[in-house]
Amino acid sequence: MKAWFALLALLLVSACARAPLEPRADRAARDFYAAVEAGDWARVEAALAPELARTAQGRAGFQRLRAALPRGGAREARAVGWSRAGEGGLQAVHLYRFAHSDVVVRTTLRPHGGNLRVASFVAQRQPLGQVEANRFTFAGKTPRHYSFLATALLSPLIMVAVAAMAAMARGLRFKLAWMALALVGVGEAWFNWTTGEGGFSFAALSLVNVGFGRDTDISPWLIRFSLPAGALLVLARLATLKERRLA
């Protein structure tokens, strides 16, 4: 059973693989971090967006940020994610690994004059081991983890199976409508694979809603799915039809 879970998880992880960060944005974000780390304020100001460049507040903020960065140089640096930002820009996320801690850097880049300029720059230190703890693994997981994953995988299968039953049901009028109803999910359950925390929101209505992903390559995996309420209604309708045929 555990092997089947591992195979399904591998397929889901592969399906959620994101496109790599474009080289120009990767280089711009890395160069900016290097300038901040070195205290090269001329390079920092030259790379900033016009609304941020050459302000006393901005320079003081970068000085405080630089003072909080680990010393000694990173032993590893790599892009771990990115997302679209406003005004045609993007936010690049990089991981810098040091001897005693990790630093996650989020750099928002926007096009200006043919170049990418830095619109925001946030660096957050993380304890060692946090990146590894967020990997998708079955080591040390509880029955709650397995039950939630199994339910998330079963939910869309139930929806599709009931829709197929509606399509083949004899005497069922408005089949297309009943088939569509079978695919409707109500609410959304979510589960953090790293921490084991979860929750449920009733304020959601969707079609075959199941999700498995994370914001960056170092974030916790989140599993989401909706309850197959529409499928239950269709099953009730099919049961009524069967009773009438047998009557």
- pLDDT tens string, the chain, 247 residues long: the values are 555 555 555 555 544 556 788 999 999 999 999 999 999 988 998 899 887 766 666 778 888 888 888 888 889 999 998 988 887 899 999 999 998 899 999 999 999 888 899 998 999 998 888 888 888 989 889 999 999 999 999 999 999 999 999 999 988 889 999 999 999 999 999 999 999 999 999 888 889 888 888 888 888 999 999 999 999 999 999 998 887 776 5
Supply the DSSP symbol for 173: S
Q: Are 93 and 82 in contact (CB under 8 A)?
A: yes
Where are the alpha helices (H) located in 54-187, listed in sequence order? 56-68, 130-133, 143-168, 175-182
Strands across the sheet containing 90-97: 76-84, 90-97, 101-112, 115-127
Query: Using CA atoms, how far apart are residues 163 and 235, in angstroms rounded to an integer?
Result: 9
Q: Are 104 and 128 in contact (CB under 8 A)?
A: no
Q: Are 247 and 191 in contact (CB under 8 A)?
A: no
Q: 201 — phi, psi (to 5°)?
A: -120, 130
- Which amino acid, residue 157? L
Rounded to whole angstroms, the maximal C-alpha distance in the chain is 87
Give how far the C-alpha of residue 242 lies from the chain's centroid of Cα atoms, to the nearest Å: 44
The neighbour count for residue 215, using CB atoms within 10 Å, is 12
Q: Where are the domain boundaries for CATH 3.10.450.50 in the chain?
A: 15-133
What fold is seen in the domain 15-133? Nuclear Transport Factor 2; Chain: A, (3.10.450)
